[in-house]
Amino acid sequence: MSGAITFERLFGIHIIAMRSKFNRSAFLALTLFGLLSAKVSAEAVPLIVPEATFSTLPRITGNTLNQGLMDQHSIIRIQLNDPTDRLRPETPVMVFRQGIRLNAPDGRGLGVLAVPIAQGHSLSQQSEANEIANPDQPGVAWIRLQSLHQEVLRGDSVMTRSQAQSYQPAACKTPTHPETPAPTSQVIAPVSQADMLSSGGDLLVISGGCGIGLNRGDTVTLWRPAVATYGRKMDQPIENKRNDASSVFDDNPAISRTQTPGHRIGTATVVAVYPEAAIIRVKNISQAVQPKDLVRISPVKNSP
């Protein structure tokens, strides 16, 4: 009958309703994830800490479940550097993972990267009594994780929040001779990924810092330096023992050099400035950034 609602029509309406509901839910979930990701990305800027200081920080040695990886709400055991130290109850703490050692272009050590991966607080006295069999063990403290950027591992280091704030870079002093052109800086290393190349949104450590007039919020441009290469061997004698497929790509000093000009590859924003280094976030690039790329401070435009 024409007025009857068939099973197929009813089933189709139900599917459409479910699909619409799923699409709305998926859209809201993706939007929330994007906002949270942006917030985490904005907050998780590493610190540059003297290596001698970082090596004395309390270390994570395990948790109550004896897991290798520790996630949110885990109760974690940390080993204090001084057995007589105690961590006050409910003290806010931050967990850091040691990054690479940083060296200036002239070879001087600048410190190590302390990459923030989690936040939490030390247990209250009541929680220690309820959760820990031996809460008064010398040189040991217990913390509970609250939020994570990455999973926590044994060997990660812990600072109190006030201690971490003391390593935040101070504002740079105004240069004595602002009319002097700022020298060129260069990329020391990528921060936010293990790759030796870096792309949009990633963090980079660059040389210079306050010493070349950088300030937080400045825009800088990234440049690939000029490169000189020799010509290529296009033919070789038959008697050459190394006359194989790869030998034709060898550099030949007897052939004139080819100069590849330097060129601009992108822009970035300064997010943290230290006396001799800075951390920048890549905004847009045309080629992957790599160590030893040049960094220039964008000139301030007084008129359009």
Each of the 304 residues of the chain gets a pLDDT tens digit; together they read 444 555 455 445 444 444 444 455 544 444 444 444 444 344 478 999 999 999 999 999 988 776 666 777 888 899 998 888 888 999 999 999 999 999 988 888 999 999 999 999 999 988 888 888 888 889 999 999 998 888 898 999 999 999 999 999 888 876 655 555 556 799 999 886 545 566 667 899 999 899 888 999 999 999 999 877 665 555 555 555 665 555 555 556 566 666 777 899 999 999 999 999 999 999 998 888 889 999 998 764 433 3
The alpha carbon torsion through 227, 220, 287, 226 (nearest 10 deg) reads -10
CA atoms within 13 A on the CB side of 194: 1
Alpha helices (H) in 63-196, listed in sequence order = 125-131, 161-166
> What domains can be seen in the chain, in order of their start residue?
47-166 (no CATH), 185-226+261-297 (2.40.30)
